[in-house]
């Protein structure tokens, strides 16, 4: 693989427009690629680089021409060191060659030159891990993400910023009340709305908002950007919950499913059937 094998023309549409098109054409579903040890064992694979590669290749080949977005969890590749990252690099390129968008789930967050380096890892077309979008953590202050925001704009990529996550521990930070009376989560959503102002048909700067959180009508989710909604499937949420959680913003929701799909492997036809079922349920809920 050459250094530029994952790149795309600089004239490509912004991420938000490409995501809207992919969701409309392929269905509003994001499939996680989470090769943790227990799942490898369920597939009859060893917890080693060979098992990792077999698992990842099977998922990409089975679903790469049908799902809108893949979300590889970087940590499950990083644990194997450079050989695991090589598997991830190949998966990113091959997924995008099949027409799927790649959202790298890395949740990076830092300041200054370190944040700039993280941004270049995932958002610079010269990088072997160049992706369509990446998850980021804003809890060193939203301004700390500026290098990633600027690079995403430059190369037509997207960001998904943690805002209201599904893990219970997140509430102690995300729902903390600032001096002006607003919560930290509401502040982050406000920043994202400002980034997406005027974008059509969809902004490129999204929020991560858990599908398991119930009624969120006290938060303004109308950020004119995508809302990545983890928690469908194994975590207990269902597509039918989406209108209650997201209200009027539901049509910008990108539900994310990992174990709910992946547990049906390694049979490719079973993986495809699971995706078709979830996609159909999501479309019904949104209708």
pTM of the shown model: 0.95
pLDDT of 11 reads 44
Which entry of 107, 146, 251, 272 is annotated as an active-site residue? 107
Q: Is 107 a catalytic residue?
A: yes
Contact by Cβ (8 Å): 73, 31: no
Domain ranges of the chain: 15-286
15-286 domain in CATH 3.20.20.140? no
Average pLDDT (184-213) is 97
Structure letter (DSSP) for residue 263: T
3-class DSSP string for 82-105: HHHHHHHHHHHHHHHHCCCEEEEE
Residue 167, Cβ neighbours under 10 Å: how many?
Answer: 12
Distance CA 207, CA 221 (A): 9
pLDDT at 3 over 70: no
Are 255 and 229 in contact, with CB atoms under 8 Å apart? Answer: yes
Rounded to whole angstroms, how far apart are CA atoms 86 and 97? 17
pLDDT at 232 (0 to 100): 86
DSSP 166: S
For residue 119, what are its two tokens? 């941004």
Nearest to 175 by CA among 167, 184, 166: 184
pLDDT exceeds 60 at position 242: yes
* pLDDT, tens digit (0-9, with 9 covering 90-100), for 129-176: 999 999 999 999 999 999 999 999 999 999 999 999 999 999 999 999
């Amino acid at each position: 693989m050459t250094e530029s094998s994952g790149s795309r023309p600089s004239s490509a549409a912004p991420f938000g427009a490409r995501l809207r098109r992919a969701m409309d054409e392929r269905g509003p579903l994001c499939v996680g690629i989470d090769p943790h040890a227990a799942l490898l064992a369920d597939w009859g694979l060893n917890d080693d680089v060979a098992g990792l590669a077999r698992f990842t290749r099977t998922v990409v080949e089975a679903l790469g021409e049908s799902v809108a977005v893949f979300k590889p969890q970087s940590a499950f590749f990083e644990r194997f060191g450079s050989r695991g990252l090589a598997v991830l690099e190949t998966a990113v390129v091959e997924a995008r060659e099949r027409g799927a968008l790649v959202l790298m789930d890395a949740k990076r967050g830092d300041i200054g030159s370190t944040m700039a380096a993280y941004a270049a890892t995932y958002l610079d077309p010269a990088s072997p891990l160049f992706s369509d979008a990446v998850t980021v953590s804003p809890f060193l202050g939203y301004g700390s993400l500026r290098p990633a925001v600027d690079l995403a704009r430059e190369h037509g990529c997207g960001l998904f910023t943690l805002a209201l996550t599904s893990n219970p521990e997140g509430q102690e930070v995300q729902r903390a009340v600032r001096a002006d009376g607003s919560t930290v989560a509401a502040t982050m959503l406000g920043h994202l709305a400002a980034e997406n102002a005027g974008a059509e048909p969809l902004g490129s700067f999204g929020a991560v908002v858990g599908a398991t959180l119930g009624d969120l009508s006290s938060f303004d989710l109308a950020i004119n950007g995508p809302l990545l909604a983890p928690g469908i499937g194994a975590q207990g949420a269902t597509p039918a919950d989406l209108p209650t959680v997201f209200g009027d913003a539901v049509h910008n929701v990108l539900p994310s499913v990992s174990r709910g799909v992946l547990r049906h492997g390694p049979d490719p036809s079973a993986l495809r059937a699971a995706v078709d079922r979830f996609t159909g349920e999501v479309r019904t809920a949104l209708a």
